[in-house]
Amino acid sequence: MRKAIICFLALTMLTATADARRKKPKAGKITDGVYVDAKYNFQLTMLEGWDVSVQKDENNVRLSFKQKDYGIPGHFINAPDYTKIPRIVVYVDTATPGVHPFLDSLLAEEFKSDQKKAILKEFDILQYSDISDGPVITKGRSRLELGGESGVLWRGQAKYKQNVAYSASSAGGRTVRGSYGGAIVLVKRDNHLYMFHIVCEWSFFDAVLADAMKIIGSFAWTDLESEGE
**Domains in the chain: ranges and CATH:** 25-228 (3.40.1000.10)
pLDDT higher than 70, residue 24: yes
Full strand arrangement of the beta sheet holding 28-31 = 28-31, 34-37, 42-45, 220-221
- At residue 229 the predicted structure's pLDDT band, cuts being 50, 70 and 90, is very low
pLDDT confidence of residue 171: 64
If 0-12 CB within 10 Å is exposed, 13-18 middle and 19+ buried, where does residue 91 land? buried
pLDDT in tens, 71-81: 999 999 989 99
Average pLDDT over residues 53-59: 98
- At residue 173 the predicted structure's pLDDT band, cuts being 50, 70 and 90, is confident
Average pLDDT over residues 150-157: 98
pLDDT confidence of residue 95: 94
- At residue 131 the predicted structure's pLDDT band, cuts being 50, 70 and 90, is confident
- At residue 130 the predicted structure's pLDDT band, cuts being 50, 70 and 90, is confident
- At residue 17 the predicted structure's pLDDT band, cuts being 50, 70 and 90, is very low
Tell me what the pLDDT averaged over the chain comes to.
90
SS3 content of the chain, % helix, strand, coil (to 5): 30, 40, 30
- At residue 169 the predicted structure's pLDDT band, cuts being 50, 70 and 90, is low
Average pLDDT over residues 48-55: 98
pLDDT confidence of residue 18: 44
Average pLDDT over residues 34-58: 98
pLDDT confidence of residue 146: 96
pLDDT confidence of residue 170: 62
pTM: 0.87
pLDDT confidence of residue 20: 45
Query: Which uninterrupted H or E stretch holds 219?
Result: none
Helix (H, G, I), strand (E, B) or coil at 93: strand
Nearest one of 7, 102, 90 to 44, comparing CA atoms: 90
Q: What percent of the chain has pLDDT over 70?
A: 85
Helix (H, G, I), strand (E, B) or coil at 202: helix
